[in-house]
Amino acid sequence: MTTYNRLSGTNVRRIEALSDALYAIALTLTVLEVRVPSRQMTMTEGELRAAVFQLGPRVLTYLLSFMTLGIFWVGNQTFLSHVRRSNRHLTWLVLANLAVIALMPISTGLLANYLTYRTALILYWLNIFVAGLISLAAVLYAERAGLVEGGIGEKASAALKRRLVIGQALYAFGAALCVIHPYWSIAFIFIVQAYFAFAPQLPPRVRGINSPLGPA
């Protein structure tokens, strides 16, 4: 292996900075799908209320994607904070994950425009699935390459892997519910995200780990 390959992509703090910047951009772009009703000369109070009411699906998809990105960002930061060093392979895995995360505003816009279409819902789920798959690959590689800190870092990685596997299984079940109706899928995914984002942490004695990963 050349000197460049051994030394490139080893600074974890630079990876964190890039990750934070891209997540901030993605989080901002998702809200652009919530478009303010255009002003019309003949618009009455009732018409304005109706136009605002029609924004409901777009607000829903915005909240859905904001929570998705927030959950991935928390997991990403938790993972990187327990990585003592990186290498070019882990760096490219993180970059691959960021490339998929950057697509979230696009899949969000598609779902906002076609909320009742199964194709839009499946593409949105695939965006989440691939991001989760690459995140899991990054954690597994970091462990195998000895890049994770010992002790709490190993426990955090184990908890993160568990969350990724459980989360992806639940998302897949939610996506399958579109066979009944896309609204069933969206409702289930929203509940899953609300749980992972806001459910209270169990005591360390129950969970076996006291980390910022949230509920297992």
For the chain, helix, strand, coil in percent to 5 are 75, 0, 25
pTM above 0.85, yes or no: no
User: Domains of the chain: which residue ranges?
Assistant: 9-34+44-207
Residue 36: DSSP 8-state? P
Could you give the CA distance from residue 22 to residue 98 in angstroms, rounded to a whole number? 7
CA atoms within 13 A on the CB side of 116: 0
Task: Single out the residue of 61, 59, 193, 63 nearest to residue 132, CA to CA.
Answer: 193
Supply the pLDDT for residue 37: 72
Helix (H) or strand (E) holding 77, with range, is helix 56-81
Give percent of the chain above pLDDT 90.
44
Out of 9-13, 82-86, 100-104, 201-205, least confident range: 201-205
Per-residue pLDDT at 151 exceeds 80 = no
Partners of 148 in beta bridges: 83
pLDDT band at 212 (very low <50, low <70, confident <90, very high): very low
Backbone φ and ψ for 158, nearest 5 degrees, come out as: -60, -45
